[in-house]
Amino acid sequence: MRLLPTVLSAVSLLISVTNASLSTEILYWPLESPQPSVLAHVSYDPVSLKSDIVSYQPPKGDQSDRLVRVGLYTSTPTNKKQWVGSLVSLSSLTASEQPTLRLHLGPANEVYTVSLSASSTSTQVSTYNPRIDLISNESGTQPHLNRPVVVGPDGQNPEQPEEKTILQKYWWVLLIITFISMSGGGGGE
């Protein structure tokens, strides 16, 4: 009897944790800078794949040919603070572009990498928020393993049928052309 309330409280805690929104901090890091700066704070729900931008601070700068790194810090078994990200142009984060941040979710619904794409906007807006796309961790097609190998009675691979020649495939076309050419001639007067 004492075990039932403990199990129920554990289940309710698990349900509340799975329904809770997670959040992450996306950083940008100019190549000449010693440390990254905060680009955005994003909260997301991995179950419904909905996200909200809590804050967004685009980088200040007018040098559009500069490169910056966009990413985040993750934790690995060998390194507790490892940078993961991609290299983009600074112009893709400025006000003339509308960036789309793609957050790739791992098996535990944590963000394991960030990628960015930009599309030009027709109107200049001084304050805007980028789009956020959540990409879930879905399995791709799986190979069919452990299938038996089919061999012939002599232990060799079964022979593949010979491929037919063009004449063997399309003999009927020649028959139709011959029929039309022989029946089409009319006598002229």
Give per-residue pLDDT as tens, 145-156: 888 878 888 888
Cβ neighbour number for residue 104 with a 10 Å cutoff: 16
Q: What is the pLDDT of residues 100-141, one digit of tens each?
A: 888 888 888 888 888 887 665 544 544 566 788 888 877 678
Burial class (CB in 10 A: 0-12, 13-18, 19+), 117: middle
Closest CA to 68 of 114, 105, 111: 114
As a whole number of angstroms, the distance between CA 21 and CA 43 comes to 6
Q: What is the pLDDT of residues 49-104, one digit of tens each?
A: 888 888 888 777 666 678 888 888 888 888 888 888 888 888 777 655 677 888 88
pTM for the whole structure: 0.56
